[in-house]
Amino acid sequence: MNKIPVAVLGGTGYAGSTLCALLDRHPRFDLRFATARTRGELRPEGSTRAVPVLPLDDAPLDEAGVVFSALPHGVSAPWVSRAREAGARVVDLSADLRPGSGARGVPYGLTELAREELRDATVVANPGCYPTAVLLAIAPLLRRGLIAQGATIATTAASGVTGAGASPKRELLFAEVSENYRAYGVGNAHRHVAELQATVARHGVDADLIFTPHLLPVARGILATVTVQIAEPIADPSALWRADFAGEPFVEVVDAPPSLRDVVGRNVARVHVTAAANARRPTLIVLSAIDNLLKGAGGQAVQNANVMLGLDECAGLPR
């Protein structure tokens, strides 16, 4: 069986290196090259094969059938265009083409919400890690129009330090992170807010969205807590979530609140929903856990590429 040649632009960051490891093990993909600032080679995790690493300007884009762009936000979009001009399909992991960015006509690759839009797409905007956790948590409400008119969707989400990227920063040093827990991006101005608000609005929901991220002293994983008022009481919210996600290979609706240990190393979202007691209006609390480098980045990108190309959606992905 012939393999599809693929490439990763920005293959040495946390998301890029995770993506390279997945592609190297994928039964239908052949990882031809990755790019970085300097020429060299990389060995994907768990592999003995050396993959060529080239400077971005030297990337032979015409040699790839699919290009995954893990370039920084603000840098990626022009390279997506170049890859398309070279004839490749593209999955863009940056924020450049996502909802709320101003880009138009690019399918949003939250697979469970937009699978049909992804089939045969030439470019897909991979979701952000936090939006993946939050939007999958409330997807049944969005799809069924069950969020109360004018409600506030309040989200507190905590991520491991790999979510901040591989560039050295003082606030990410061991002495700053260890035995500590803090909020950042306070004031509802985090860059993921626009992506979240635009996606909620696309579903015709009239609601505010307040998002406060936190930094956990762990390497990877996201745990999001979403509190949302609903239009009317739901007798068994867990049953609704299970029905809505029935048949989804990468969403697990569970009876107990999820933890990071349940999801790290897996391309899954684990979701728990319960009705809030002692509230004047019908309110749900939804917990969602993902691995920020898999379901929140590289794994989601591979899942999207599988759908784009008509492959087995689960191919090459750890469950």
Catalytic residues: 129
What residue has token string 């239009």?
231
C-alpha distance across the termini of the chain, in Å: 24
Dihedral, CA atoms, 234, 115, 249, 6, nearest 10 degrees?
-150
| Helical axes 111-118 vs 129-144, angle rounded to 10° | 80
Return the closest-CA partner of residue 151 out of 251, 239, 279, 274: 279
Q: How far apart are CA 71 and CA 79, in angstroms?
A: 9
- Please, are residues 202 and 275 in contact by the beta-carbon 8 Å criterion? no
Sheet holding 4-9, edge to edge: 40-42, 51-55, 29-36, 4-9, 66-69, 89-92, 123-125
Element (H, E) at 202: helix 192-202
Please answer whether residues 23 and 315 qualify as being in contact, where contact means their C-beta atoms are separated by less than 8 angstroms: no
Enumerate the β-bridge partners of residue 290: 222, 269
Supply the Cα-derived Rg of the chain in whole angstroms.
Answer: 19
CB-based burial label for 207 (10 Å; 0-12, 13-18, 19+) = buried
- Residue 106's closest CA among 124, 81, 87, 128? 124
Dihedral, 195, 216, 255, 273 alpha carbons, nearest 10: -30
Cα–Cα distance, 271 to 58 (Å, whole number): 43
